[in-house]
């Protein structure tokens, strides 16, 4: 990877030449090609797709469907199995609200799920009488055998500490027991090769991910589902664009994917997402993965022997993808983040990263999360180590 050239693609580095951006697990930066695609929509065909017959609308419809086909190819799916959403959260809620639950149905997740893959299930506990269990990942296969869940809803990589959950035994055991598997791929699709019919994701039933965590525009996301399962989902929203016909007392839904995409969509965002996927493919997901590990190794090796720094997750950086999360006993994570910003222009996330449940259960107040992407440099990682060493001298 030619980091110098890559960084030239990101206008933020021209506007903020000293910025060290390490909040990539929340939202990544955007290259010029994505910004151009968004602008092109507003400048050249700012109309509605999928409804009208004039040429501008037809062109937009064709371009949106091309993006759908490319996104599908990117994850090894079929075009009609890709539903555009606002984000991972919406994708998971579409499944949670769309399945036909019976009281007592069981959903299993891990004990480090993001609120977006926890609270949609807890809402069903409150409203429909299902049962939800948060399980240590090492026990999840056994718990599937024991509890015979209806659905297993697990993340692939933890946004808390970057730990990877090995999915294939979970998917296999869940299917043996007749359960469905939803994977929260928000921290996976941008960082490792995901193929819903190959590798660790093989045979997954639903996969949710966000465009803004992989260089796409804000408020873009995807729900993948096996066709026969998406067909059975009761839509979260109904209305324009999802309806084939209506009378005063009834309506008929369109087939997939429109059935699950009611209302005018974020066409600019979808076009930008299409460019983001192409851009990431050009960089190469395997290169991205290796580069993140290299940066994580620099930071981990630089700070692992500092007594004041408590790393969350495994000590071995190779087991934490592109995430390095830590806390200093008795010190507010926000204070550390503000110092990193003020002293060295380093942007990191502080707080509980929407995994309050883990912080509550483990009685840790909060933490600082450093998360890398392919445009970050080894020099930035070294600078972070140096500044952190200066910060801990204060305490
Ligand atoms: C593992 C995980 N799941 C879900 C989400 C929610 O993503 P979004 O806010 O894009 O819906 C995030 C966001 O950080 C995440 O890291």
For residue 354, the ligand 1 atom closest to its alpha carbon is 14
Residue 184 near ligand 1, beta carbon < 6 Å: yes
Alpha carbon distance 366, 360 (integer Å): 10
Q: For the segment 160-204, what is each residue's pLDDT rounded down to a tens digit?
A: 999 999 999 999 999 999 999 999 999 999 999 999 999 999 999
Tell me if 132 sits within 8 A of 125, measured CB to CB: yes
pLDDT cut 70: percent of the chain above it: 100
Six-digit token string for 57: 């609308």
What are the tens digits of pLDDT across the range 59-108? Answer: 999 999 999 999 999 999 999 999 999 999 999 999 999 999 999 999 99
Structure tokens at 336: 């550390």
Model confidence pLDDT, tens digit, residues 321-355 = 999 999 999 999 999 999 999 999 999 999 999 99
Nearest to 167 by CA among 195, 145, 148, 131: 195
Q: In a mutational test of the pocket of ligand 1, which residue from 94, 116, 208 has the highest number of ligand atoms less than 8 Å from its CB? A: 116
Q: Above 90 in pLDDT, residue 152?
A: yes
Q: What does the DSSP 8-state code read for residue 318?
A: G
The pLDDT value given to residue 147: 98
DSSP states of 142-170 as a string?
HHHHHH--SEEEEESB-TTT-PBPP-HHH
pLDDT confidence of residue 1: 85
- pLDDT confidence bin for 208, thresholds 50/70/90: very high
Strand order in the sheet with 206-210: 82-85, 221-225, 206-210, 180-184, 151-155, 106-110, 131-135
> Rounded to whole angstroms, what are the CA distances from 20 to 13, 165, 199, 371, 372?
9, 29, 33, 11, 10
In tens, the pLDDT along 284-306 reads 999 999 999 999 999 999 999 99
210 CA from centroid of ligand 1 (Å): 7
Local structure of 313: helix, strand or coil: coil
Task: Quote the ligand 1 centre to 207 CA distance (angstroms).
Answer: 12
Residue 123 scores a pLDDT above 90: yes
Domain covering 33-282, topology: 3.40.640
134 class by beta-carbon count within 10 Å (0-12 exposed, 13-18 middle, 19+ buried): middle
pTM above 0.85, yes or no: yes
Ligand 1 mean position, distance from CA 220 (Å): 12
- Ligand 1 binding pocket mutation candidate from 354, 357, 358 (most atoms within 8 A of CB): 354
Closest CA to 120 of 10, 290, 236, 255: 236
Q: What are the E-state strand segments in 92-242? A: 106-110, 131-135, 151-155, 180-184, 206-210, 221-225
Mean residue pLDDT of the chain comes to: 97
Structure tokens at 393: 């001298």
Domain chopping of the chain, boundaries: 3-30+285-394, 33-282
Distance CA 171, CA 205 (A): 9
Identify whether 354 is a catalytic site residue: yes
Rounded Cα–Cα distance for residues 107 and 104 (Å): 10
CA of 3 to the centre of ligand 1 (A): 27
* DSSP state for residue 306 in the 8-state scheme: -
Instruction: Report the distance separating Cα 30 and Cα 100, nearest Å.
Output: 39
Task: State the catalytic residue, choosing from 26, 33, 48, 354.
Answer: 354
CATH topology of domain 3-30+285-394: 3.90.1150
Q: What is the mean pLDDT of residues 211-230?
A: 98
| Pairwise CA distance, residues 233 & 276, whole Å | 29
Q: Does 87 sit in the ligand 1 pocket, CB within 6 Å?
A: yes
């Amino acid at each position: 990877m030619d980091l110098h050239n890559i960084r030239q693609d990101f206008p933020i580095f021209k506007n903020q030449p000293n910025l060290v951006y390490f909040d990539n697990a929340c939202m990544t930066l955007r290259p010029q090609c994505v910004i151009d695609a968004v602008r092109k929509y507003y400048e050249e065909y700012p109309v509605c797709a999928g409804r009208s017959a004039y040429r501008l609308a037809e062109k937009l419809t064709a371009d949106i469907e091309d993006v759908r086909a490319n996104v599908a190819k990117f994850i090894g799916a079929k075009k009609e199995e890709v539903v555009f959403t606002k984000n991972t959260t919406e994708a998971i809620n579409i499944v949670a609200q769309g399945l036909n639950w019976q009281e007592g149905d069981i959903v299993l997740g891990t004990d480090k799920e993001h609120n977006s893959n926890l609270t949609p299930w807890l809402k069903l506990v409150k409203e429909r009488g299902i049962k939800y269990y948060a399980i240590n990942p090492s026990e999840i296969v056994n718990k599937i055998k024991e509890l015979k869940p209806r659905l297993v809803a697990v993340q692939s990589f933890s946004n808390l500490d970057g730990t990877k959950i090995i999915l294939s035994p979970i998917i296999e055991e869940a299917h043996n027991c007749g359960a469905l598997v939803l994977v929260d791929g928000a921290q996976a699709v941008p960082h490792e090769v995901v193929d819903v019919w190959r590798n660790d994701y093989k045979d997954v039933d639903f996969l949710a991910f966000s465009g803004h965590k992989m260089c796409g525009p804000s408020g873009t996301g995807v729900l993948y589902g096996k066709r026969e399962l998406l067909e059975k989902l009761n839509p979260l929203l109904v209305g324009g664009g999802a309806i084939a016909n209506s009378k005063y007392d009834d309506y008929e839904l369109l087939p997939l994917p429109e059935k699950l995409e009611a209302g005018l969509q974020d066409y600019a965002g979808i076009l930008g997402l299409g460019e983001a996927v192409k851009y990431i493919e050009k960089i190469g997901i395997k290169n991205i993965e290796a580069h993140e590990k290299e940066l994580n190794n620099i930071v981990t090796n630089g700070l692992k022997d500092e007594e004041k720094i408590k790393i969350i997750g495994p000590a071995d950086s190779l087991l934490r993808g592109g995430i390095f999360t830590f806390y200093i006993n008795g010190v507010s994570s926000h204070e550390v983040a503000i110092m990193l910003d003020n002293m060295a222009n380093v942007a990191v996330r502080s707080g509980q990263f929407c995994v309050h449940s883990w912080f509550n259960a483990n009685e840790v107040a909060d933490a600082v999360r450093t998360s890398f992407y392919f445009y970050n440099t080894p020099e930035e990682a070294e600078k972070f180590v140096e500044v952190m060493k200066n910060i801990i001298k204060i305490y």
